[in-house]
Chain A
Amino acid sequence: MTDKEKKELAIAACKVRMGVIEGTHAAHAGHPGGSLSAADMFTYLYFKELNIDPAQPKMDDRDRFVLSKGHTAPGLYATLALRGFFPWEDLKGLRQIGCHLQGHPNMDMTPGVDMSTGSLGQGVSAAAGMALAAKFQGKPVRVYTLLGDGEIEEGEVWEAMMFSHHHKLDNLCVIVDNNGLQIDGPIDKVMSPYPITDKLAAFGLHVIEINGHDFDQMEAAFAEARATKGVPTAIVMKTTKGKDVSFMENQVGWHGKAPNDEEYKIAMDDLNAVLAGLEGGKNE
């Protein structure tokens, strides 16, 4: 990846983060923390990795993305809007009556959403079903799903891992957002899912660990996932919850709380500063 491409991705990811703040601020609700930790991954997936077309959201052989950690819908919505699936202005209708942007993703209402999710653990199973179906149908479809690190406390997640390995779903890529926090506190204090990578490996997945804010590492990990045959791949990404919003970073309280007017201003100032830094270096 060239420096220019990386900069473009970083700018897009910053705009996605702004969309998360816009949406949750307007909704007076939502989950900014995990949306911000996964913003770089959302951006990479929709701007580099996935075979999708915003003009044809139901394109037959498109790659599928299932947001298993459905509560971070604000991050997905901002990415879909930025990618052109629907107008950016829609983000301000998040969680409100009359808007297609539900509190958790709805595949029948929002263009670009491939599976309705929100109840943790189910998205990864649905993704496995899609991957199995694609193989059966002989379609060149790859299926990606993003889970929270708290979400993997759900038993169903491990049923899905067993299933995916047993049925050799090498067209499935499971991504775990390891930001270390869940609603009630640090994941290792609430109900430790560690060692995450060892557990995934024990279930037979090909496991790759990356920094979830590094696009080079994402590019390499996805290339490795595509080249891995016979078993599904799991990418465990270390991230910072609340990334790039100063008062939200690593703060468990920002898992599911919206910024008020004052906090909104600070958050947007933080992100505008990040954007200015990125754009300022544009002509180097």
Chain B
Amino acid sequence: MSDVKKMATRDGYGNALKELGGVHGDVIVFDADLSNATKTNVFQKAYPERHFNCGIAEGNMMAVAAGAAAMGLVPYASSFAMFASGRAFEQVRNSIGYTHLNVKIGATHGGISVGEDGASHQCCEDFALMRSIPGMVVMSPADAVEARAMVFAAYDYKGPVYMRFGRAPVPIIHDEETFKFTIGKGETLADGTDVAIIANGLCVAEALGARGILAQEGISARVINMATVKPLDTELVLKAAKECKKIVTCEEHNIIGGLGEAVCAVIAEAGVPCPVKRVGVRDVFGHSGPFGPLLEEFGLTAPHIAEACK
């Protein structure tokens, strides 16, 4: 895939914020001393009067964003996923979730692919935390094109949104000219009937790779990009459960509380008999290292996903 263009979804986020800011004057951005890493500095350079640094105080930042939203502005509040969803969980829950205020949380550096910073910064719990808040939309794009579309869709949606972006460059799999994104709708990237791989984030490109491996063995794999973890596209999940012999979920998240469990819950409650395997971080902490070998080690690459599909 060396000729495939790559870009980190956090870059897609930063660029989209700048673009969105040019269209809507009520968009403001909060960051907690990580503007260069979260890429909100792209917005800051274009609109310095609309970018507010909160310093290293994520809890305060989230409640401040809630207050700004209560005044009618549309704040995008950014930090690393660990601090946006973890450190500030209760501010997000009470000041943003309970109030259903119009705050968009742009959390970068999600998952194990944070790499060298190690386990303290490799947040694999954010889907679980954010999903558990009533009314919270939880999303993670597969590439920078989807990241951009997500930032715009979040603006059009009235209410709290959590978006998780990644640090590592990942292949661009969508066509920027034609791509359309709808919150809560999954996207069937490739059809197949033996197995359906339901993935999000950087695992989507890996799932497409797994499909190629499986094809060589005569196994037909459907690949679904489930960028919205909540509200889940239950219709698409159940369709896959009925039409395919098996489902494999794949996410850069703990297998507890994320996309995999959400898919299992839908299938179990619908009473559709379909086995599910969850590919993800298997309830362990990560460690430092380059992201590529880490994804291998934690079983999130195409060969591992293909193996789970057999």
Contact B63 A125 (CB under 8 A): yes
How far is the CB of A153 from the nearest CB of chain B, in Å? 14
Contact code string B68-80 (vs A, CB < 8 Å = 1, else 0): 1111110100000
Q: Is the CB of B59 within 8 A of A159?
A: yes
Question: Mostly helix, strand, loop or mixed at chain B's interface?
Answer: helix
| Partner-A contacts on B (CB < 8 A) | 28, 49-50, 52, 54-55, 57, 59-60, 62-73, 75, 90-91, 94-95, 98-100
Q: Is the CB of A129 within 8 A of B64?
A: yes
Chain B nearest CB, measured from A73 CB (Å): 15
Q: Name A125's contact: one of B50, B55, B72, B95 (CB within 8 Å).
A: B95
A107 to B49, CA, bound (A): 29
A residues 41-78 near B (Cβ < 8 Å) are 64, 66
Once the chains are docked, how many angstroms separate the CA of A162 from the CA of B55? 9
Sample of 26 A–B contacts (CB below 8 Å): A64-B70, A116-B94, A116-B95, A116-B99, A118-B94, A122-B91, A125-B62, A125-B63, A126-B63, A126-B66, A126-B95, A129-B64, A129-B65, A129-B71, A131-B67, A132-B64, A133-B28, A133-B70, A133-B71, A133-B72, A137-B73, A139-B71, A156-B59, A159-B60, A160-B60, A163-B57
Known: A107-B99, A125-B63, A136-B28. A114 touches B91 (CB 8 A): no
Smallest CB-CB separation from A157: which chain B residue? Answer: B60
| A134 at the B interface (CB under 8 A) | yes
Closest CB of chain A to B26's CB: distance in Å?
Answer: 9
Complexed CA–CA distance, A156 and B69 (Å) = 19
A100 at the interface (CB under 8 A from B): no
A49 to chain B, nearest CB (A): 19
| Contact (Cβ within 8 A) B99 A125 | no
**Contact yes or no, A133 B73, CB < 8 A:** yes
6 more contacts with CB within 8 A, not counting A125-B67, A129-B75, A159-B55, are: A115-B95, A116-B98, A129-B65, A134-B71, A136-B49, A159-B60
